[in-house]
Amino acid sequence: MENLELKTHLKFNPKFGRLIELTENGAKVLLETTPDMAVDEEGLVHGGFTFGAADFCAMASVNEPYVVLVKATNCEFMAPVKVGDKVEFEGEILMREKRKVEVKVTGMLNEIKVFEGLFSCVVLDTHVLKK
């Protein structure tokens, strides 16, 4: 990991995605799936956990204190994720224009691509919930 420090989403629970690398142009997040993420007896993990880790990866890639997701497009769940899987998400900044940032996030399970999406983010001056 480069000597960069995470500046956003500091209270994000690592159970739902742990930052493993941070660079000027992206980030890597590891999701280690657990039984409480399963939706059935077969151990299929709910897609919301996959998407949540991808979203965190996008936010970490931007790495600004007040970054928010405004749109996610072209999101594809390409293969199932099951309990016990370790999915590595990689975010890559494709465009940074003033306050707008586009991040491509890819989720890999070993050599299998399980997720891909484009995250449109906006960097704000203050917290989104501040009046």
- Number of structural domains in the chain: 1
Residue 59 sits in a domain whose CATH number is 3.10.129.10
Give CA–CA dist 125/65, Å, rounded.
9
pLDDT of residue 129: 93
User: What is the average pLDDT value for the chain, to the nearest integer?
Assistant: 96
Answer whether residue 93 is part of any domain.
Answer: yes
Using the structure block, give the residue that is written with the tokens 């742990």.
18
Pairing outcome for strands 67-77 and 18-23? unpaired
Give CA–CA dist 124/122, Å, rounded.
6
Answer whether residue 1 is part of any domain.
Answer: no
pLDDT of residue 116: 98
H helix runs in 7-110, sequence order: 47-62
pLDDT tens profile 18-65: 999 999 999 999 999 999 999 999 999 999 999 999 999 999 999 999
Answer whether residue 9 is part of any domain.
Answer: no
Predicted confidence (pLDDT) at residue 2 exceeds the cutoff of 70: no
Answer whether residue 98 is part of any domain.
Answer: yes
Domain membership of residue 29 as a residue range:
14-123
Predicted confidence (pLDDT) at residue 5 exceeds the cutoff of 50: yes
Q: What is the mean pLDDT of residues 87-94?
A: 98
Answer whether residue 79 is part of any domain.
Answer: yes
Contact 16, 52 (CB under 8 A): yes
- Compute, in degrees rounded to 10, the torsion defined by CA atoms 23, 63, 96, 51: 100
pLDDT of residue 1: 47
Answer whether residue 131 is part of any domain.
Answer: no
Answer whether residue 95 is part of any domain.
Answer: yes
Q: What is the mean pLDDT of residues 90-111?
A: 97
Answer whether residue 129 is part of any domain.
Answer: no
